[in-house]
Amino acid sequence: MAKKAKPGKGGPHLAAAVFCDDTIQDRDDGTISVIRIIDQIAVLLPPDAPPDFPSKANRITVSGKLFLAFKTGDSTGSHTVRCVMESPSGRKAVVFERTLDFSPQPNGGSNFHIDLRVKVYKGGLFWMYVYVDRKRLALMPIVIKIERGKQPSEASVGGG
């Protein structure tokens, strides 16, 4: 009787996918620290911002960071990582795409520190799709809140 082949572990594998404030990479050993994992971004508009800001014609740029960590597993070689953001209206846009070689060690891989800059006209629930070679590995929700600051009231202006 022939031996049954052991199935591989596949890969690449997603080890981490988070929205965060920042990442720090240690200069000595290369380890990474993720700073302040978030699930929402708040944007405060100044009270004197034009009434049509933001709007479909006059969008606001919202910035954030995305950290992705992949492990090679059995899948060495070149792989394409792609991130697509979906707005509350259902519109999708590619916000990141890169092809690179994954290391030959199963515990090796690649990390991505992605500075996001998306133009929006209203807040709501956004979704980040994370793909490797067209296979979806993650679906990450994030809420973007846009609020207009209040005009100072007359009672709070001046000495009193």
- What does the pLDDT read at residue 155? 46
- pLDDT above 70 (res 5): no
d(CA 147, CA 42): 8
What separation in angstroms does the CA of 89 have from each of 20, 53, 56, 58, 121? Answer: 24, 18, 12, 17, 11
Banded pLDDT at 154 (limits 50, 70, 90): very low
pLDDT digits (tens, 9 = 90+) for 45-92: 999 999 889 999 999 999 999 999 999 999 989 999 999 999 999 999
The whole-angstrom separation of Cα 6 and Cα 41 is: 45
Looking at residue 136, its pLDDT comes to: 97
Written as one string, the DSSP assignment of 102-137 is EPSSTT-EEEEEEEEEEEESS-EEEEEEEEETTEEE
- In this prediction, residues 137-144 reach a mean pLDDT of 98
Return mean pLDDT, the chain. Answer: 89
Domains along the chain with CATH numbers: 13-149 (2.60.40.10)
Asked whether residue 13 carries a pLDDT value surpassing 70, the answer given is: yes
Count of C-beta atoms within a 10 Å radius of residue 68: 23
Candidates 89, 90, 87, 70; CA nearest to 135 is 70
Report the predicted TM-score, pTM, of the whole model to 2 decimal places.
0.84
Q: In this structure, which amino acid lies at residue 32?
A: I
